[in-house]
Amino acid sequence: MRRRLPQLFWLTVVWVLLWGTLTPTTIIGGIIVAALVTWLFPLPPMPDTVPFRPLRLLGLAGFLAFDLLRSAVDVAWETVLHGPRARAGIVSVPLLSGSARAVALLAGSVALTPGSYVLQIDRARGTFWVYTLGLRREGDVERVRHAMLVLQRKVVAAVGTAGELADCDRGLAAGTEKTP
């Protein structure tokens, strides 16, 4: 029950925010709804806690903000220069972490980048596929693959455990040449 208290609290907060009034009735109703939701739809237990690394999270946020701006300029340039003849493709990238939270944050981070998104994640094969705009020259596929590997490393450094980070570094060192 102790592990469920934060969930109860945040569900109650969401309930109160949805109603837009801070009254005893809304709060009690929120607690009742939160208890029912928690009881009817229990979340699976998290095997470990999320590491708290504020500097690395800040670094990841800065990296993503810069990447967002750079990608927006790239997409605009590709559109202005080539219009309907703009070229895109699908790039396979090795998945360096098996952590569900790292993979989810990675997919969300790629989705933030204009001109790209994750099409599929195959955790069993350790690969994910990214759709990306602007594949025109020799080496563009490797450039995209390298950018995705760098992003994965930053995500794992921000939210992964020390073991996941070590696995990620080993994967970067050993597996980048043999990408599919």
pLDDT digits (tens, 9 = 90+) for 61-93: 999 999 999 999 989 998 899 888 888 999 999
Q: Are 91 and 130 in contact (CB under 8 A)?
A: yes
Sequence spans of domains, the chain: 2-40, 54-175
Tokens of 125: 């094969």
Q: What is the 8-class DSSP label of residue 124?
A: T
How far is Cα 64 from Cα 111, in angstroms, rounded to an integer?
11
pLDDT given for residue 178 in this prediction: 46
Q: Count Cα atoms within 13 angstroms, Cβ side, for 137.
A: 5
Q: Are 159 and 103 in contact (CB under 8 A)?
A: no
pLDDT digits (tens, 9 = 90+) for 140-164: 899 999 999 999 999 999 988 888 8
Instruction: Find the mean pLDDT for residues 16-32.
Output: 93
pLDDT surpassing 80 at residue 115 = yes
Average pLDDT of every residue of the chain: 87
